[in-house]
Chain A
Amino acid sequence: GNSVTQMEGPVTLSEEAFLTINCTYTATGYPSLFWYVQYPGEGLQLLLKATKADDKGSNKGFEATYRKETTSFHLEKGSVQVSDSAVYFCALSSINAGNNRKLIWGLGTSLAVNP
């Protein structure tokens, strides 16, 4: 079945450091891929997405490229800020035999950025 694997956290960085959070997936067909962010005590917000191979999603300085050859969608940011401290979730779209659409979620990666 479809699945998403994220690197385990927590990840701790200093301000202005380079960030990479790895995400790999297993899927049939051509799913859409997503990164969501969750700030403490809040719901999830869409950070970026990509719908086909080689697409690059970007938002707020974050980027991720849909790599079908390596089944990956790694999240990167060149210079993190304290305000980027949050939990980041990778997800892929899935459709079952009943034509019901869901998202398959990774377990999340906690990021803490120190000043």
Chain B
Amino acid sequence: DGGITQSPKYLFRKEGQNVTLSCEQNLNHDAMYWYRQDPGQGLRLIYYSQIVNDFQKGDIAEGYSVSREKKESFPLTVTSAQKNPTAFYLCASRMGGTGFSETQYFGPGTRLLVL
């Protein structure tokens, strides 16, 4: 089955610790996105990547970092500089190139909690 997987489903972070959230897609999509969702709020864009080896900051990039070394993978690291990391993190992807579409497809999300 084609789709987007995120792991783990729940993640716990200690004070001062960096943690990495995984996002993998087998849809052959070019673009990938990371969003943060807080309770009762909408989606806020953290980082996005239109193509391998390239990425751009979104609206709330401070305290986060990403890499895009492979087309199918777009991991997000929540660094110790992010002082309020507790949230639901969503990864999405979108077809580019000749099969271009504006539609984003989402993974199931990772809930990050601070101990």
- A residues contacting B by CB (< 8 A) are 32, 34, 36, 41-46, 49, 51, 89, 93, 98, 100-103, 105-108
- B residues contacting A by CB (< 8 A) are 4, 6, 31, 33, 41-43, 45, 48, 50, 56, 58, 90, 92, 94, 102-109
Contacts beyond the supplied A43-B4, A108-B41: 20 A-B pairs with Cβ under 8 Å: A34-B103, A41-B109, A42-B109, A44-B43, A44-B90, A45-B106, A46-B104, A46-B105, A51-B102, A89-B43, A93-B102, A100-B48, A100-B56, A101-B94, A101-B102, A102-B33, A102-B48, A103-B102, A105-B43, A107-B41
Enumerate chain A residues within 8 angstroms of B4, measured Cβ to Cβ. 43
Pull 12 A–B residue pairs with CB atoms less than 8 Å apart, ordered by A.
A34-B102, A41-B109, A43-B107, A43-B109, A44-B92, A46-B103, A98-B56, A101-B31, A102-B58, A103-B102, A105-B43, A108-B41
Enumerate chain B residues within 8 angstroms of A98, measured Cβ to Cβ. 56
Question: Would A32 and B43 count as touching, CB distance under 8 A?
Answer: no
Question: Would A100 and B41 count as touching, CB distance under 8 A?
Answer: no
Q: How far is the CB of A25 from chain B (nearest CB, A)?
A: 14
Cα separation A39 to B46 with both chains bound (whole Å): 22
Cα separation A105 to B107 with both chains bound (whole Å): 17
Cα separation A42 to B108 with both chains bound (whole Å): 5
Question: Would B105 and A106 count as touching, CB distance under 8 A?
Answer: no
Cα separation A102 to B94 with both chains bound (whole Å): 10
- Please give me the residue from chain A that is nearest to B94 by CB atom: A101
- Please give me the residue from chain A that is nearest to B108 by CB atom: A43
Cα separation A105 to B104 with both chains bound (whole Å): 12
Q: How far is the CB of A55 from chain B (nearest CB, A)?
A: 13
9 pairs of A and B residues whose beta carbons are closest in the complex = A43-B106, A93-B102, A107-B42, A44-B106, A32-B102, A105-B43, A43-B108, A105-B42, A43-B109
Q: A42-B109, A44-B90, A101-B94 are contacts. A106–B42 as well, Cβ < 8 Å? A: yes
Q: How far is the CB of A96 from chain B (nearest CB, A)?
A: 9
Question: Would A102 and B45 count as touching, CB distance under 8 A?
Answer: yes
Cα separation A105 to B45 with both chains bound (whole Å): 10
Q: How far is the CB of B6 from chain A (nearest CB, A)?
A: 8
